[in-house]
C-alpha cells in the first residue's frame, strides 16, 4: 500500500501534484495599498512589492501546468485614483515590460499577453507591450494575461462592437465568446485581501467560476496560498446547472 496518496505527494521541487487543475485561473491582485499602509510606507511601495509577487506567481502557474492565467493589474476604474498613484503604477508597468522578455524567457516557456483597452495607455507602453507579446508568441507554456486598463463590461462591449463591424446584426453568445480577450470560461477566481467581489473582472468568463478568497494581502501571497486555492478547487463539485 502506498504511504501517500497522489494528492499528498510532492515532487522533488516541493511542488504538490494536483489531480485536477483549473485550465484558466483568474487572480485579482488586491491589497497592495493596505499592505503598504500597515508598514507606514507609500502605496507605491505596496505596488512594487505586489509586482514582484506577480512575477513569482505567474511563473508558478506555468510550472504547475496551468494553461491560462489572467492577472488583474489595473482596472478601467483605477484611473480614478490620485495621479501620483496612477503614475507610479504605470512606471512599475514599464519597468516590468523592460525586463519582461528575459523574465518570461527564463520561465517555463510562458507566453505573455496584455488584455484591456489600449486607449489611455501611452504609446511607449503600447510599443513595449506589443514587443513582449511578439517575443513570446510562439512559446507553448502558460498563457499569462496581464489585465491592464481592463474592465469586464468594456470587454463585452468591445466584443459586441467587433461582431457588428464584421457585419453581424444578431449577436449570439458564441460571437461574444469568440471575441472576448481570454478563453470563454474561467475555472477559478482567486481574490486575496479579504474583499469578496469581482470588481468588474472577467464578467463573461466567470459564469461558472469557482471562487477562492483569502485575507492575505497580495504582496504577502505565496506559492502556498496558490496551492491552497488549487487544493480547494479540486474538492469543488462543479455542476454547471446540470
Ligand atoms: C491592488 O491593490 C492594485 C490595484 C488596484 C492597482 P490596491 O491598490 O487596490 O490595494 P488596496 O485594496 O487599497 O489595499
Ligand atoms: C480590483 O481592485 C482591481 C485590481 C486589483 C486591479 P480594486 O481595489 O480596484 O477594487 P475595489 O475598488 O476594492 O472594488
Ligand atoms: Mg484594492
Q: Can you give the pTM of this predicted structure?
A: 0.94
Q: Which three cell numbers stand for residue 217?
A: 494581502
Confidence of residue 103 (pLDDT cuts 50, 70, 90): confident
Binding-site residues, ligand 2, Cβ < 6 A: 28-30, 72-75, 78, 195, 197, 199
CA-based nearest residue to 144, from 22, 29, 54:
54
Check whether 7 has a pLDDT greater than 50.
no
Lowest mean pLDDT among 49-58, 105-114, 231-240: 105-114
Local structure of residue 16 (DSSP, 8 states): B
State the ligand closest to the CA atom of 93: 1
Give me the pLDDT at residue 105, please: 63
> What 3-state class would DSSP assign to 19?
coil
Residues 113, 111: Cα–Cα separation, whole Å: 7
Residue 49 · residue 124 · CB < 8 Å: no
Question: Nearest 5°: CA angle at 59, between 57 and 64?
Answer: 90
Residues 69, 54: Cα–Cα separation, whole Å: 11
Residues 211, 19: Cα–Cα separation, whole Å: 19
Confidence of residue 5 (pLDDT cuts 50, 70, 90): very low
Give me the pLDDT at residue 110, please: 93
Give me the pLDDT at residue 116, please: 98
Give me the pLDDT at residue 6, please: 42
Condensed to tens digits (0 to 9), the pLDDT of residues 118-169 reads 999 999 999 999 999 998 999 999 999 999 999 999 999 999 999 999 999 9
Give the residue, by CA position, lying nearest to ligand 1 atom 3. Answer: 30
CB 92 near ligand 1, within 6 Å: no
Quick one: which H or E segment has residue 149? strand 143-150
Amino acid at each position: 500500500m502506498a504511504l501517500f496518496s497522489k494528492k499528498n505527494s510532492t515532487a522533488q521541487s516541493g511542488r504538490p501534484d494536483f489531480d485536477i487543475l483549473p485550465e484558466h485561473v483568474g487572480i485579482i491582485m488586491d491589497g497592495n495599498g493596505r499592505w503598504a499602509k500597515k508598514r507606514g510606507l507609500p502605496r507605491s511601495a505596496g505596488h512594487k512589492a505586489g509586482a514582484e509577487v506577480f512575477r513569482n506567481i505567474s511563473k508558478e502557474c506555468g510550472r504547475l501546468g496551468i494553461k491560462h492565467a489572467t492577472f488583474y493589474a489595473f482596472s478601467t476604474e483605477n484611473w480614478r485614483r490620485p495621479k501620483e498613484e496612477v503614475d507610479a503604477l504605470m512606471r512599475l508597468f514599464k519597468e516590468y515590460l523592460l525586463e519582461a522578455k528575459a523574465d518570461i524567457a527564463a520561465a517555463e516557456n510562458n507566453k505573455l499577453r496584455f488584455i484591456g483597452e489600449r486607449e489611455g495607455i501611452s504609446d511607449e507602453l503600447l510599443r513595449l507591450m506589443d514587443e513582449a507579446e511578439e517575443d513570446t508568441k510562439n512559446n507553448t507554456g502558460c498563457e499569462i494575461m496581464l489585465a491592464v486598463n481592463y474592465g469586464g463590461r468594456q470587454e463585452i462591449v468591445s466584443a459586441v462592437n467587433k461582431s457588428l463591424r464584421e457585419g453581424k446584426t444578431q449577436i449570439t453568445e458564441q460571437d461574444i465568446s469568440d471575441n472576448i480577450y481570454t478563453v470563454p470560461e474561467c475555472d477559478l477566481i482567486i481574490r486575496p485581501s479579504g474583499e469578496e467581489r469581482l470588481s468588474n473582472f472577467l464578467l463573461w468568463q466567470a459564469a461558472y467560476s469557482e471562487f477562492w478568497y483569502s485575507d492575505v494581502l497580495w504582496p504577502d501571497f505565496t506559492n502556498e496560498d496558490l496551492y491552497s486555492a488549487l487544493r480547494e478547487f479540486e474538492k469543488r463539485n462543479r455542476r454547471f446547472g446540470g
